[in-house]
Amino acid sequence: MRVGIDHHVARTQEPGVGRYSRELVRALVRLPDCPELVLADAGRGARTIGEPDLGLLDAPRRPRVVRSRLGRRAWRLLRRSADGMLGGVDLFHRMLPDWPPVARAREVLAVSELFEPGSQRDRELAAALARADALVFSDATARALRVRYGLPAERIHRVPVGADHWLRDLPGRPVPKIDPPQIVVLGSLHPRRRPERVLRALEALRRARRPAQLLYVGPRNEHTAAFLREHAAGSSAGEEVRCSHANGRELAQILAASACLVHLTAGEETAVTPLEGVVFDLAVVASRIPAFEEDLAGAADLVDAAVEEDPQALARAIERALDTAAEPARRAARAAAAARFTWARNAEATVAVYRRLTRCA
């Protein structure tokens, strides 16, 4: 079995699908029964992720990489295809719905995000799913694909997400916990992540004389500036709030030193962000949405919309999570979840899908 994988995003994007592509390939090449892999690095984006961060320099079997710096227009004019560029593959694992084009190989597409119905990205996903089987990270996503796109159940394959990527960046010595306890929020300060609600909860904790620090870790962009200007600048807890653009080893140390991760969202298709806190044995408070209920039951405190919207109620939920974090049952639940959601398990499940699909081809 010869499998092609889109690895361009792994070399050009730090978070999201870029991390997924990097971690999947890093785990695949360490499996004893890894199929033959060929990686497609096709596109004009700047390769900002260095070779050491791809995790392949010390791999037992380094896959071949085929590169093309041609843009999309040139590919269309020359009628290029990813499977043709790779010399033919049995299956191509795409990371993006609309790139690169595939001519003959069977396709799988990892679906970690759904889009506004009728939008351009929604149409691109629908077109991709007309050709590709779907890899999903939650039963809720599987149901959505069946209902919205009419995708048959036999073309949807549930695999566990991996969340242990930052553990390997921990230093050899223990990292001391920050006192007063640090609450961490991961990801872009986009309004759909509701970062201002965590800030209001911190203010409520302060009024209740429960000291804590709040650290937002994510990319610096227009959302960062708007949040700092519109919310943090006038906050009564402003001196306890920081923003950071850390990643890699710095982020591992931040998580190891923190006490609680809070992740509020209107809807996501994978529990990877709260699981990133769970694998570091942090107390986790997250929104009660289907994907989180599936994977975080017992390992995190899930809160309803009414709690999110009430600063005092959210503060009490965070306080309870901090106060019960060290209880043996809570730690055991987090350890069990951390053991289920590793990149090694993701790779094993993904290879099983590869083999099932190529046998049916």
Q: Looking up tokens 């700092």, which residue turns up?
A: 228
The overall longest dimension of the chain from CA atoms, in Å, is 66
Tokens of 126: 């629908």
Nearest by Cα to 94 from 64, 68, 133, 66: 133
Length of the chain: 361
| Under 8 Å between Cβ of 307 and 204 | no
Residues 6+ apart with CB under 8 A from 279: 163, 164, 166, 167, 334, 337, 338, 341
Give the model's pLDDT for residue 183: 97
Q: For the chain, what is the mean pLDDT? A: 93
For the chain, the domains span: 2-162+342-360, 167-340
pLDDT digits 0-9 by tens, 19-77: 999 999 999 999 999 999 999 999 988 999 999 999 999 888 889 999 999 888 888 88
Give the model's pLDDT for residue 210: 94
Helix (H) or strand (E) holding 67: strand 64-68
| Under 8 Å between Cβ of 275 and 163 | yes
Integer Cα distance of 285 and 132 in angstroms? 35
Helix (H) or strand (E) holding 26: helix 17-28
The CATH architecture to which 2-162+342-360 belongs is: 3-Layer(aba) Sandwich (3.40)
How far from 230 is each of 186, 191, 214, 221, CA to CA, in Å? 19, 12, 17, 15
| Under 8 Å between Cβ of 314 and 303 | yes
Positions in the chain whose pLDDT score sits under 70: 360-361
Question: Fold identical between 2-162+342-360 and 167-340?
Answer: yes
pLDDT digits 0-9 by tens, 65-116: 999 998 888 888 889 999 999 999 999 999 999 999 999 999 999 999 999 9
User: For the domain 167-340, what is the CATH superfamily, name and number?
Assistant: Glycogen Phosphorylase B; (3.40.50.2000)
Give the model's pLDDT for residue 358: 93
Give the model's pLDDT for residue 360: 58
Backbone angles phi, psi at 297, to 5 degrees: -55, 120
**What is the side-by-side order of every strand in the sheet holding 36-42?**
64-68, 36-42, 2-6, 91-94, 106-111, 132-136, 156-158
Integer Cα distance of 351 and 96 in angstroms? 19
